[in-house]
């Protein structure tokens, strides 16, 4: 039977993809599924391109981890979404705890982006340029960049990325912006902020870290997508999709609800031409980030811990 990326492409999407991480690439059974471009036409490095790894001390760049994932994807003919540049989390302490002026931190941000995006030039279909810049109420998150530079760090990051790789699609990426509300309005404000500064923004990435049985309706998912397109981006994507259980283990009815929820997100992407693809945040519960961060939660992905397909897999494939 046809596999997810094949089905997504036949439905007019660019890809169906997965995140992965360096340590997992020694698991042969895991890799056998991940490397199949009919299943996953796109890969996102789950960690290796983050600042703490790529510039652990000022001016010392290290692309070992990121390169391993990007090279893996390229050798399999898979598209790469590159992730991520300006983010408050997984920042090395020299940035997060540094003593900065507007000028010195602007220089640090520009240098980081020029170096990293330059290193990966031509290898990234897209970059998540700015990640998670919003609070839940739609205001800007108090991170080191915002506190020192102000909101202009956002267009500045987009300008620097465009300068270093003019062909990459440039994304704003966040969670809880899949449905409608204050945070989704905040993402629209960011699109306008970047455009008003004369910088390029191509897309909005909706992370979609969702909870079984509580996801937005398909109508709200589409309304949110359309609000981004109306504000002037040309594409959107589900960039980190997982749909977790808040208590474990799930029963059969729960697994069916999870399948329905994965189907709803897939339907929303299919319903809007400008939704270019769906990326799940790893494909198996064996390597999901969820249990480590949301204690007691998990079972969020379409493959279980034994790499067997769950009901969510069947529903995604039948919807595609
Ligand atoms: C997560 C990784 O999956 C974990 O391994 C890491 O410990 C923390 O970060 N939003 C993002 C991703 O944009 O980079 C995060 O990835 C998950 C939430």
CA 140–ligand 1 middle distance (angstroms): 20
In the chain, which residue ranges form alpha helices assigned H by DSSP?
4-10, 28-34, 51-54, 64-75, 93-96, 102-119, 144-149, 153-164, 182-196, 218-231, 252-271, 290-293, 311-319
Phi first, then psi, for residue 130 (nearest 5°) are -120, 130
Q: What pLDDT is attached to residue 295? A: 95
CA 164–ligand 1 middle distance (angstroms): 25
CA 1–ligand 1 middle distance (angstroms): 32
- DSSP for 93-122, please give it: HHHHT----HHHHHHHHHHHHHHHHHHTTT
Mutate to test the pocket of ligand 1, among 240, 283, 292 (most ligand atoms within 8 A of CB): 240
Is 207 a pocket residue for ligand 1 (Cβ < 6 Å)?
yes
Q: What pLDDT is attached to residue 303? A: 98
| The model scores a pTM over 0.80 | yes
Q: What pLDDT is attached to residue 1? A: 72
Q: Residue 44 pairs with which residues in a beta bridge?
A: 19
Q: What pLDDT is attached to residue 135? A: 98
CA distance linking residue 252 with residue 191, whole number of Å:
41
Residue closest by Cα to atom 5 of ligand 1: 289
Model confidence over 256-292: pLDDT tens digits? Answer: 999 999 999 999 999 999 999 999 999 999 999 999 9
Give the residue ranges of the chain where pLDDT is below 70: none
Are the C-beta atoms of residues 25 and 286 closer than 8 Å to each other?
A: no
Catalytic residue among 55, 116, 132, 159: 132
Mutate to test the pocket of ligand 1, among 293, 297, 301 (most ligand atoms within 8 A of CB): 293
Distances 266 to 136, 217, 307 between C-alpha atoms, Å: 24, 12, 21
Distances 126 to 111, 204, 255 between C-alpha atoms, Å: 19, 11, 32
Q: What pLDDT is attached to residue 309? A: 98
CA distance linking residue 50 with residue 82, whole number of Å:
10
- 235 classed as catalytic: no
The number of beta carbons lying within 10 Å of the beta carbon of residue 196 is 9
CA distance linking residue 277 with residue 191, whole number of Å:
20
Mutate to test the pocket of ligand 1, among 18, 21, 24, 46 (most ligand atoms within 8 A of CB): 46
CA distance linking residue 175 with residue 134, whole number of Å:
9
Are the C-beta atoms of residues 317 and 4 closer than 8 Å to each other?
A: yes
Q: 117, 230, 215, 223: which is closest to 175 by C-alpha? A: 215
List of residues 6+ apart from 317 with CB closer than 8 A: 1, 2, 3, 4, 7
CA 46–ligand 1 middle distance (angstroms): 6
- 178 classed as catalytic: no
Q: Is 251 helix (H, G, I), strand (E, B) or coil?
A: coil
Which ipTM was obtained for this model?
A: 0.99
């Amino acid at each position: 039977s046809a596999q997810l990326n094949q089905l997504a492409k036949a439905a007019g999407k660019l890809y169906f993809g997965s995140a992965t991480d360096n340590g997992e690439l020694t698991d042969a059974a895991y890799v056998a599924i991940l490397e199949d471009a009919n299943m996953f036409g796109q890969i996102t490095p789950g960690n290796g391109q983050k600042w703490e790894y790529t510039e652990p001390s000022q001016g010392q760049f290290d692309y070992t981890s990121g390169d391993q994932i990007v090279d893996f994807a390229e050798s399999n003919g898979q598209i790469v979404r590159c992730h991520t540049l300006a983010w408050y989390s997984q920042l090395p302490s020299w940035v997060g705890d540094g003593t900065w002026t507007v000028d010195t931190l602007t220089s640090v941000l520009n240098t980081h982006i020029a170096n990293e995006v330059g290193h990966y030039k031509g290898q990234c279909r897209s970059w998540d340029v700015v990640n998670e810049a919003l609070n839940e109420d739609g205001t800007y998150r108090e991170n080191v960049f915002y506190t020192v530079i102000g909101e202009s760090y956002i267009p500045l990051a987009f300008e620097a990325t465009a300068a270093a790789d003019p062909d990459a699609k440039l994304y704003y990426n966040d969670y809880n912006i899949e449905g409608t509300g204050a945070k989704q309005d905040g993402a629209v404000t960011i699109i306008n902020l970047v455009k008003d500064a004369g910088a390029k923004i191509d897309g909005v990435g909706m992370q979609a870290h969702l909870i079984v049985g509580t996801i937005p309706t398909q109508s709200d998912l589409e309304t949110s997508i359309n609000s981004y397109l109306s504000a002037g981006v040309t594409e959107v994507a589900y960039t980190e999709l997982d749909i977790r259980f808040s208590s474990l283990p799930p029963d059969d009815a729960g697994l069916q609800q999870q399948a329905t929820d994965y189907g709803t997100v897939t339907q929303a992407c299919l319903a809007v031409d400008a939704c270019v693809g769906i990326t799940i945040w790893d494909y198996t519960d064996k390597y999901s980030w969820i249990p480590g961060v949301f204690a007691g939660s998990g079972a969020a992905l379409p493959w279980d811990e034994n790499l067997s397909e769950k009901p969510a897999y069947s529903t995604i494939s039948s919807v595609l």
